[in-house]
Structure 1
Amino acid sequence: MKKQLNDPAAPGKQDRFSSAGFILAAIGSSVGLGNMWKFPYITGEHGGAAFFLLFIICLILIGLPVLLAELAIGRAGRGSAATSFVKAGGAKIFGRLGLLQVIAPFLILTFYVIVAGWTLHYAVMSFSGALYESADFTGQFGSFTAGYMPIVWQVVAIALTGWVVARGVSGGIEKFNKILIPGLVILLIVLMVRAVTLPGAGEGVSFFLNPDFSKLSAEAALVALGHAFFSLSLGMGILLTYGAYVDKRQSLGQATLAIGAGDLIYAFIAGLIIFPTTASFGIAPDAGPKLVFIALPAAFSAMPLGAFFGGLFFILLAIAALTSAVSLLEVPVSYVMDRWHWGRTKAVTAVSLLVLLLGLPSALSFGIVPGLEDIGGKSFFDWLDFITSNILLPVGGLITILFAGYFWKTAADAAGLKAGWFRVWLFMLRYIAPILVVLVLLHTTGVIKVE
């Protein structure tokens, strides 16, 4: 019997996003955990609002042009992140290079679902009040991550992610994001209102919104460039894959602006949650993941209805983690379906099990297995994070930039831009974005150091 248009088991690219569903799914991919603990830290370190303005400029210079390129290649190729380059008219070498944008999200997912599991665990612990029975939040986090319960929550996170992806594009990914992204917005607003009304929160708001241009430097510019690139999920095949599910009538230019705006708004509200909260309770906003799982629980324990607001906060993080995890899983699943013509359910099951299996060394690298805790100064988890974020993603983005800027003969038709905007876009891809991405790559890998 002929497969129906929205059959979630169909191996082809027949399933499609609606216009609104596509934009919400793309925003969901960019709304991740990093903006909640990384963005406040780098913003505070490099001048508050001055850095935020610099981030906006970098988003325009590098983020939006590359985002549009990935969407255009995906829609033109109607394939996976690896095959779309060739199907869009590129040489076979780009198909091989495109495999990096399948490998990268797969490797990221192996450790990302571990952190997603942490957020689910902490949400349950906060709502139940068990998280606040002891004031030793450092000890709680250490004993939790050094035990076997993270593996249980890792299974829960990948199972939820796989369940959504197995239901297809319109029936799973789109519906999931249509429910969770509005819920995310509501939680952001509730937590922002709670944060800015805390005693002493004004100092944190002032620190975030008042620009200190004296802290801007070459280092700040490179950090802003890197964050603009990574916060949009560029270089990891997600937008290439999602582009394959976009209707031809969808304006990619308008979609690019909407996705960029969504990323900015999320980052801005995250700042208005973290900075007032840390200021109110005298917490340094530079602790990375420890800020979320150690410092902020201490703050919630000291505020009225803290268990409730703490639970909401960790639910917020869980939503951000799971929407990103769904996007990450869809990339290798799409490739498996495209390469071996498997049904969606079979592909999701196989990839999810492999993610779970290969994620075990990361889950066990927090003290259970000493050999995984310190490998040349980093844990297995940290090495995987470093290699994917600092090497594979910039290289993947550079492949997209060079293909769209120099080798893609039908780029004008695929992008759907008017002549003037197309020339601006092509100029950015040819002469600005490659240089900036190379600088980011050299900076994040420590080859160049600036002040």
Structure 2
Amino acid sequence: MIKQKQQSTLQLNQKTERFSSVGFIFAAIGSSVGLGNMWKFPYITGENGGAAFFLLFVVCLIVIGLPVLLAELAIGRSGRGSAATAFVRAGGGRAWKGAGLLQVLAPFLILTFYIVVTGWTLHYALWAFNGNLFKSSDFAYQFSTFTSGYLPIVWQFISIVITGGVVILGVAKGIEKFNKILIPGLVALLVILMVRAVTLPNANKGVSFFLNPDFSQLSAESALVALGHAFFSLSLGMGILLTYGSYVRKEQSLGTATLAIAAGDLVYAFIAGLIIFPTTFSFGIAPDQGPSLVFVALPAAFSAMPFGAMFGGLFFILLAFAALTSAVSVLEVPVSYVMERFSWSRPKSVIAVCAIIFVLGVPSALSFGAVPGFVIGGKSVFDWVDFITSNVMLPVGGLAVIVFAGYRWKRAAEATGLQAGWFKLWLFMIRYIAPVLMVLVLLHTTGILSFE
């Protein structure tokens, strides 16, 4: 009897955890403005021609991002549970339980390597501020030496402790307050770095590359890349918005929230471009250097500018802020599931999940040469986990949301809260446009479809 009362109390507490209206917007924006827009977006934009690709990304964000974003929030609020039970509680039946579990497993696995990269950003922020980053001009060697050692495990631990410390405080006192502090701080850093970047010598070349479109640079491959990034940049298909939706108050307008979240994501990407491209062009750095752009090429640029250590430190703090806000959102998904599934308290759930994520993340942290044997089939453990989750599990999860919302969900009109005309447009997009585009994303990310 006592155990049943304890379980009922825990379930009631979980169901009654709520964001404030403004806090929800901050938290949802925090989930989307992660490393993807500050790290991946600049280099894929550089690889695909600049401004024309950015405009294509905006179109894809509107066409596929907005409808699926609204669907996830509405399903989450309708289900009022973890991502694992969102589809079932929203009226999908037990057949949809597997789709929900997938959206818990994917973010859990993602965090095992994402927290490693978050640790890199924290290390680089400290490294830049104390000047050690700029003692040598061979930044590729420095990055390789750091990632191939054991120090990343220390920073991985620090990152998971910070992330868990926020989530353990709960939805309102932890996640909401954390994002209310970090998001304004992130915006301030963005503006400071943008002003510094656009006032550098020859920065106009980078601004032109990013803002003056040359559509001859686009290709079918560019369209697929833009489509995939529009989906991933909003954290779709990974249970975050299903989980956050369950904490949204009934009076919150999901349509307005959807627009605000997408706008925040877009503005962040836009300002990131106005930081990266003027900086790289000013110092003669090619903008298409792939993932090494942030950790190798940009430190070279900072080392050559006045007060470079300070601006380099601010840049990597910006990266760390972005990484941590996303990590907090990702962690809440498996924590919410564990609380619901085992009727554990939030502190117990957070500690257990964080401990497992840390242990499973160690092979990813050691994938860059610290320990031989972490390469399987030509890919490191880090690369395999990234590929399976980002390229397979997330698109499949997104497709499940689309199919459920478009063809199975009977309460969609009521749950979305859209007026009749807007609902018809949303339903048309979800039923006939989004599935086709989502299948294209899945075929492209898995390598089945490519135009290169």
Answer yes or no: is the 8 Å Cα contact 2:111–2:357 preserved in 1.
yes
Query: What one-letter code is carried by the residue in structure 2 that aligns with 1:447?
Result: I
Shift of 1:448: 1.3
The aligned residue for residue 255 of structure 1 is 257
CA shift in 2, pair 1:145/1:400, >3 Å: same
Shift of 1:35: 1.3
Q: Deviations over 1:229-263 (max 9, x none)?
A: 00000000000000000000000000000000001
- Output aligned runs, 1:67-78, within 5 Å: 67-78=69-80
- Output aligned runs, 1:259-338, within 5 Å: 259-338=261-340
SS of 1:16's partner is coil
Q: For the residues of structure 2 that align with 1:57 and 1:132, how far apart are their CA atoms?
A: 40
1:61 to 60, 63, 74: 63
- Output aligned runs, 1:13-92, within 5 Å: 13-92=15-94
- Output aligned runs, 1:33-432, within 5 Å: 33-372=35-374, 374-432=375-433
Shift of 1:82: 1.0
Q: For the residues of structure 2 that align with 1:31 and 1:73, how far apart are their CA atoms?
A: 22
Answer yes or no: is the 8 Å Cα contact 1:31–1:263 preserved in 2.
yes
Shift of 1:64: 0.5
Query: What one-letter code is carried by the residue in structure 1 that aligns with 2:363?
Result: P
Query: What one-letter code is carried by the residue in structure 1 that aligns with 2:451?
Result: V
Query: What one-letter code is carried by the residue in structure 2 that aligns with 1:426?
Result: L
| More moved, 291-300 vs 340-349 | 291-300
Shift of 1:293: 1.1
Could you tell me which runs of 5 or more consecutive residues in structure 1 were left unpaired when the two chains were aligned.
Answer: none
Shift of 1:11: 5.2
Q: Deviations over 1:256-276 (max 9, x none)?
A: 000000010000000000000
Q: For the residues of structure 1 that align with 2:45 and 2:296, how far apart are their CA atoms?
A: 20
Answer yes or no: is the 8 Å Cα contact 2:44–2:290 preserved in 1.
no
Answer yes or no: is the 8 Å Cα contact 1:79–1:87 preserved in 2.
yes
Q: For the residues of structure 2 that align with 1:38 and 1:283, how far apart are their CA atoms?
A: 16
Query: What one-letter code is carried by the residue in structure 2 that aligns with 1:393?
Result: L
Query: What one-letter code is carried by the residue in structure 2 that aligns with 1:36?
Result: M
Q: Deviations over 1:287-318 (max 9, x none)?
A: 23311111111111111000000000000000
Query: What one-letter code is carried by the residue in structure 2 that aligns with 1:444?
Result: T
Q: For the residues of structure 1 that align with 2:93 and 2:410, how far apart are their CA atoms?
A: 11
| More moved, 176-185 vs 209-218 | 209-218
Answer yes or no: is the 8 Å Cα contact 1:9–1:343 preserved in 2.
no
Answer yes or no: is the 8 Å Cα contact 2:122–2:316 preserved in 1.
yes
The aligned residue for residue 441 of structure 2 is 440
SS of 2:91's partner is coil
Query: What one-letter code is carried by the residue in structure 2 that aligns with 1:387?
Result: I
Answer yes or no: is the 8 Å Cα contact 1:107–1:388 preserved in 2.
yes
Shift of 1:378: 1.5
Answer yes or no: is the 8 Å Cα contact 1:205–1:272 preserved in 2.
yes
Q: For the residues of structure 1 that align with 2:13 and 2:329, how far apart are their CA atoms?
A: 17
Query: What one-letter code is carried by the residue in structure 2 that aligns with 1:259?
Result: I
Q: Deviations over 1:138-170 (max 9, x none)?
A: 111111111111000000000000000000000
Q: For the residues of structure 1 that align with 2:337 and 2:10, how far apart are their CA atoms?
A: 15
Q: Deviations over 1:7-62 (max 9, x none)?
A: 99975221100011000100000001121122122223333222111111111110
Q: Deviations over 1:411-433 (max 9, x none)?
A: 11000000111111111111110
* Count of residues in correspondence between the two structures: 446
TM-score, with structure 2 as normaliser: 0.97
Answer yes or no: is the 8 Å Cα contact 2:53–2:218 preserved in 1.
yes
Q: For the residues of structure 2 that align with 1:442 and 1:103, how far apart are their CA atoms?
A: 21
SS of 1:366's partner is coil
Shift of 1:113: 0.6
CA shift in 2, pair 1:147/1:19, >3 Å: same
Answer yes or no: is the 8 Å Cα contact 2:43–2:293 preserved in 1.
no
Answer yes or no: is the 8 Å Cα contact 1:109–1:355 preserved in 2.
yes
Q: For the residues of structure 2 that align with 1:56 and 1:107, how far apart are their CA atoms?
A: 29
Shift of 1:286: 2.0
SS of 2:288's partner is coil
CA shift in 2, pair 1:361/1:9, >3 Å: farther
Q: Deviations over 1:68-113 (max 9, x none)?
A: 0000000000000010111111110111221110000000000001
Q: For the residues of structure 2 that align with 1:24 and 1:185, how far apart are their CA atoms?
A: 12
| More moved, 318-327 vs 219-228 | 219-228
Query: What one-letter code is carried by the residue in structure 1 that aligns with 2:201?
Result: P
| More moved, 190-199 vs 283-292 | 283-292
Answer yes or no: is the 8 Å Cα contact 1:9–1:344 preserved in 2.
no
Q: For the residues of structure 2 that align with 1:439 and 1:288, how far apart are their CA atoms?
A: 23
Answer yes or no: is the 8 Å Cα contact 1:201–1:277 preserved in 2.
yes
Alignment identity in percent? 75
SS of 1:52's partner is helix
| More moved, 230-239 vs 336-345 | 336-345
